[in-house]
Amino acid sequence: MSKLLYITVNPKNDIKLSKGMQLGEAFLEEFKKQKPEVEIEHMHLYDMDIPQIDMDLLYARAKLSFMGKTFDELSEGEQKQITAMHALADRFIAADYYVFVTPIWNFGSPAILKAFLDNLFIVNKTFTNTQEGAKGLLTNRKALHIQTRGGIYSSGPMVDFEFGDRFLTKVLNFLGMEVMPTVFAEGMDHFPKQVPEIMAKAKEQAIEAAKEMAKETVTV
């Protein structure tokens, strides 16, 4: 059975409070209509214990990757952290479709998303090194980013200050995924009276993205 991993990145884990989750729900409702056989798993990052790159994880990765050490030679703390890292990566790899729902905060995504993504960079599991350079191993997968923005970042003076969507897209591309055009609702802090109109347009885009993602069967 195929699986869609729905990843929400906002401390407001309530669809009534989160505009991003409202857009995500519009996407999910349409995707379920198009692909009722696909299992949907929800990861809410703020409810998870995500391994951080602390001293144990930093040394565990180094020892296993280029210092010639085995897992049994790691310290207890290093074993715990590297095991948790691989478990999270394995859970991520098990999906076929991915939807990330995030806000933009201070030009980027919430820091917890970076911590989550750090666990996905594992040589010979999610990418490999070749003579031509690094090559992503998570191919034949589709991903979508749904982002809410208080300001305007798609045009005007703030274009070069948007690093949340740009960073996530680059990471997913690096890992080998096909990343669809981002669905975003922007300007909601600048134009509060226009929020209903902005959200309605973004929901339409989310629905269309769901139809597009569902068009082709993904085989991993």
Residue-wise pLDDT tens digits, 181-211: 999 999 999 999 999 999 999 999 999 999 9
pLDDT digits (tens, 9 = 90+) for 135-146: 999 999 999 999
Residue type present at position 109: S
- Give the contacts of 111 (CB within 8 A, at least 6 positions apart): none
Can you say how many angstroms the Cα of residue 204 is from the centroid of all Cα atoms in its chain?
21
Read off the pLDDT band of 179 (50, 70, 90).
very high
| DSSP designation for 194 | G
Let me know: does 101 contact 183? Beta carbons within 8 Å.
no
Distance of alpha carbon 202 from alpha carbon 204, whole angstroms: 5
Q: Does position 164 have pLDDT exceeding 90, yes or no?
A: yes
Encoding tokens for residue 200? 């309605």
Closest of 103, 100, 112, 109 to residue 186, by C-alpha: 103
Task: Give the pLDDT band of residue 1 (cuts 50, 70, 90).
Answer: confident
Q: What is the pTM of this model?
A: 0.94
Say if residue 218's pLDDT is above 70: no
